Amino acid sequence: MRKLLFGFLVVLFLLTVAIRVYQKLHSQPPASLAQMQASQGVPVETTIVRRETLASKITVNGEVRSDEEASLSSKIGGRLITLTKQIGDSVLQGELLAKVDTSQLEVQRAQALNQVAMAERNLSQARLRLENARREWERRQRLFEEGVVARAQLERYELEYQTAREQEGVCQAALEAARDGLRLIETTIRDASLQAPFAGVIGERRAEVGEVVAAGQPIYTLYNIGSLIIRVQVPEKDVLLLRPGQEAEFFSPNLPEPVTRARVSRIAGAPDSKSKLYAVELKVLSRSAVLKPGLFLQGTITTGRKNGVLTVPVTAILQAGDTYSVYVVKDGKAVRRPVEVGETSGEQVEILTGLSPGEEVITLGKENVSSGTRVLVKSTEKKS
C-alpha cells in the first residue's frame, strides 16, 4: 500500500513539472512599455495654435496704503484721562478718540468768566457816566449860548465829558481783553479733546490712559480703508510704458486668488535720488477682506494689447540656450520645430515665426518624445 502511494506522488510531481515546462516553451513574453508606445504611441496632450489678443504686462511689487491717513496727536500737553479706541476699531468723523486732563484749565476758565463779568459791569457803569456827562455838557452849551453860564463852567463840563469818553474806551478795551483771554482758555480746553478728522480704522495706538504726553506727540494712527492705494516703484524702462488709467491685478503669495484690481492713478515725474526708481500709485478698484494698509502684494500692470498674435502655452516651449522649439503633431508623429518667441503674458508666449494657425503642438508629455516619435493624443485644448 505504501509503495502504491509513493508511486502516485512521483507521477503527480512529474506531471506538474511537465505542464510548467510546456507553458514556458509555448507562452509569449509580455510586451514592454517601449513596445507598447511604439505600436500605440506616446501619450501626450496638445493645443491648437490660433491667433489671439496678447496683453503686454510688467511685474511689480507694492505696498497697500491708505490714500487718506493721519498721525493724530493732542494740540496740548498733559495727562491722558480718556482713550476710547483700540487697534482695529472703526471710528466716525468727529468721534472722540482721546482727552487730556483739563482740571486746571477749568479753574482758569472760571476765573476768566469772572473777569469778563466784571469788565462788563465796569463798561456798563462807564457808559452810564458817559451818557450823564454828555447830557450835562450839552445842557451847559445851551446855557452858555444864552449867556447864563460862563465859559469856564462850560469848559469844566466839556472836560468831564472827554474824561468819561476815555474811561468808556478803557473799559471797552478791558472787556475785549477779558473776552480774548476766555476764548483762548476755551480753545485750549477744546484742543484737549482729540477727535477723528475723518472716518476710518485705527492702525496704531501709541499711548495709554494716565500717560503724560507732549503737544504734538502721536497718540493714534488713523487710516481711511475706504480709499486704498497700492504704491509701487518701477525702473525707467518700465515707467516709460505706464499711463494713468492702465489696469493691474495684484496677488498675495499666501492666497490662491487675486486680492484686488487696481488702476494707475499717479506717476512720479522724477526718480528717487537714491534708488533711481519711479514711484507709481494705483487706486484700488475692488478689494477683499484681507486687504489692509501695510500689506505687501505682487502684481502685473497691463501696459498694452496686441491683436491677432500667434501664441502657445508656456508648457509647449522647449529651450536650449538661446534657441526655442516646439513639438508639432503631424501624421500621428512628433516633429520638432524651431520657433522665434516674443513677449510672454501670463501662461501664453508670443510666436513670431515657426508656426501657423491651426497646427497642433504638444503641451504635456514633450519630454518623452523626440522628432519622429509616434504619439497618442489623449486630449486637445482648443483655444478660443
Strands 42-48 and 375-382: parallel
- Identify the three-state secondary structure at position 170: helix
* Nearest residue to 35 via CA among 269, 380, 374, 271: 374
Cα distances from 29 to residues 18, 20, 26, 37, 303, in angstroms, run 19, 15, 10, 16, 61
| CA 28 to mean position of chain CA atoms | 70
pLDDT in tens, 216-275: 999 999 999 888 999 999 999 999 999 999 999 998 887 767 788 999 999 999 999 999
What type of residue is 175? Answer: L
pLDDT (0 to 100) of residue 15: 63
Contact (CB, 8 A) for 258 and 108: no
Pick from 5-19, 116-130, 144-158, 221-235: least confident: 5-19
Task: Map out the domains of the chain with their CATH numbers.
Answer: 42-56+306-382 (2.40.420.20), 59-67+226-305 (2.40.30.170), 68-100+192-225 (2.40.50.100), 102-190 (1.10.287)
Mean pLDDT of 325-350: 90
What type of residue is 113? Answer: L
* Whole-number Å distance between alpha carbons of 335 and 315: 16
- Read out DSSP for 18-61? HHHHHHHHHPPPPPPHHHHHHHH-EEEEEEE-EEEEEEEEEEEE
Cell of 290: 484681507
pLDDT in tens, 30-75: 444 455 555 678 999 999 998 988 888 899 999 999 888 899 999 9
Contact (CB, 8 A) for 250 and 262: yes
* pTM confidence score: 0.58
pLDDT (0 to 100) of residue 257: 73
pLDDT in tens, 261-315: 999 999 999 999 999 999 999 999 877 777 888 889 999 999 988 888 899 999 9
